[in-house]
Amino acid sequence: MNLLFLTGFVASILVILALDLGVFNRRAHVISIREAGAWSAVWVALALAFNVGLYVFWERIAPGSAHSAREAALAFFTGYVLEESLSMDNVFVFVLIFSYFRVPAIYQHRVLFWGVIGAIVMRGVMIGIGTTMVQRFDWILYIFGAFLVFTGVRMALQRDENPHPENNPFVRLARKLLPIAPDYDGKRFLTRHKGRLMATPLFLTLVVVESSDLIFATDSIPAVLSITKDSTIVFTSNILAIMGLRSMYFVLAGMVEKFHYLKTGLAAVLTFVGLKMLVEPWVHIGIPVSLAFIALCLGTAVTVSMIVPRPGPGTSGNLPPATRE
C-alpha cells in the first residue's frame, strides 16, 4: 500500500469527521429521513468520485500493481457495493440495540459517530493482517471461503432472536471495570453520580455497537478479499462504505420491517463469495460476474420483500438477526 496515498486518504476522512461533529452536528438533534437521505447521497457521490480518481491516478497510486486501472476501479466499485450491502445487516442490528437500551433518538447519531471512529481503527488493523496473511499464505483463502459459506448458510437458516446485550462479553467486562450510572446524562458517555465517576448507559450502547461491528468485520473483510487482494482497494472501499453507514441507518431504520427477505439475499451473497474463494484455483469468476450476482441477489430480495407479505410467526430466515454469535 502506498503510504503517502494512505496518509492522505486517512487525513481526508478525519477532516470530514471533524467537520461532521464540530460543524454540521455540533448540537445534538434528531436526524430526519430527509437529512439522512441527503447525507447518504453525499457519501455515495464521494465514493463514486473517489472511484473515478482511482481509475485516473491508479498508475501513480500503485505502480507495478497486478491490477490495471480499469480492473482496480471495477474492483473498488464491487467491493464498495458488497460492503455497503452487508452493512445493511448492521443497520438492522443497530435498530435492535438502540431499542434495547432505549437510546433517545437525539443521541443516536453521537453513538454511531464514535462507532465509526472505532470501526475505522479496527478494520484498518484487520485488513492489514488479512491482506498480509493472504499474500504470505495462499491456503488462508480456503479458510476464509469456508467460513463465508458457513456464515451464509447459517444466516439463511437462523431463526429470529431478540438481542441480549447483557450477555455481550464486552459489556460484562465494562460492568466489571466501570461503575454504571442508573440513567442517561444527556450526550455524555461518562458522568458523576453521587461523587463517583461512572459510565452512562450511552457508553454501554457504544460498547455493544463497536463489538457488533467487530463481529460483522469478520465476514465483510474476507468477502471483499474474494474480490481483490489489493490492500489499498480493500481498505478504501471498506472505509468509504462505513462512512455512509450512519446516514443509511437513519434512512433505513424506519423501513426495517419492509425488507424481510433482505437477510436471505445477503446470505446468498456471502455463500457465493465463499464458494468463489474455494473454487478459484480451478474456476475463475471475474469481477463483473461477481458484481452482477450481488446486484441480482439484492434486487431480488428487495423486490420479493415488497411483493410477498411477511411470513407468519415462527418462520425462520426472513427477518434480520438480532446478533451473530
3-state DSSP call for residue 194?
coil
Question: Under DSSP, is residue 199 helix (H, G, I), strand (E, B) or coil?
Answer: strand
> For the segment 240-290, what is each residue's pLDDT rounded down to a tens digit?
988 888 788 887 776 666 777 888 888 888 898 889 888 888 888 888 888
Output phi, psi for 113, to 5 deg.
-60, -55
Higher-pLDDT residue of 320, 127: 127
Over range 222-231, report the average pLDDT: 86
* pLDDT tens-digit readout, 73-107: 999 999 999 888 887 777 777 887 888 888 888 88
Q: Reply yes or no on whether the pLDDT at 212 is more than 90.
A: no
Residue closest to 236 by CA, chosen among 76, 114, 41, 85: 76
Interior angle at CA 209, CA 203 and CA 214, nearest 5: 125
**Per-residue pLDDT tens over the stretch 149-160:** 888 888 888 765
In order of 19, 26, 216, the CA distances from 325 in angstroms are 35, 36, 10
Cα four-point dihedral sign 226, 228, 229, 234: negative
Cell 484498518, residue located: 124
- Could you tell me the residue ranges of all domains in the chain? 3-164+212-307
Among residues 318, 307, 236, which one has the least CA distance to residue 53?
Answer: 236
With a cut of 50, say whether residue 72 has pLDDT above it.
Answer: yes
All three cell numbers of 178 = 466501570
Alpha carbons within 13 angstroms on the beta-carbon side of residue 33 total 5
Give the whole-angstrom CA distance, residue 230 versus residue 251.
32
What backbone torsions phi and psi does residue 303 show, to the nearest 5 degrees? -60, -45
CA–CA separation, 20 vs 54, rounded Å?
Answer: 25
- pTM (2 d.p.): 0.82
Q: Residue 36's pLDDT is what? A: 82
Q: Check if the beta carbon of residue 294 is closer than 8 Å to that of residue 180.
A: no
What pLDDT band is residue 314 in, cutting at 50, 70 and 90?
very low
| Angle between helix 245-252 and 105-136 (nearest 10) | 130
pLDDT confidence of residue 19 = 79
Of 256, 255, 289, 258, nearest to 272 by C-alpha is 289
pLDDT greater than 70 at residue 22: no
Amino acid at residue number 114: W
Q: Is residue 128 predicted with pLDDT exceeding 60?
A: yes
DSSP H stretches of helix in the chain: 3-19, 33-61, 69-101, 105-136, 140-157, 169-177, 201-225, 231-243, 245-252, 262-279, 287-307
Q: How far apart are the C-alpha atoms of 231 and 132, rounded to whole Å?
A: 9
Give which of 70, 12, 7, 23 is closest to 46, Cα–Cα. Answer: 12
Q: How far apart are CA 126 and CA 123, in angstroms?
A: 5
| Per-residue confidence band for 25, with pLDDT thresholds at 50, 70 and 90 | low
Query: CA nearest 169: which of 316, 323, 310?
Result: 323
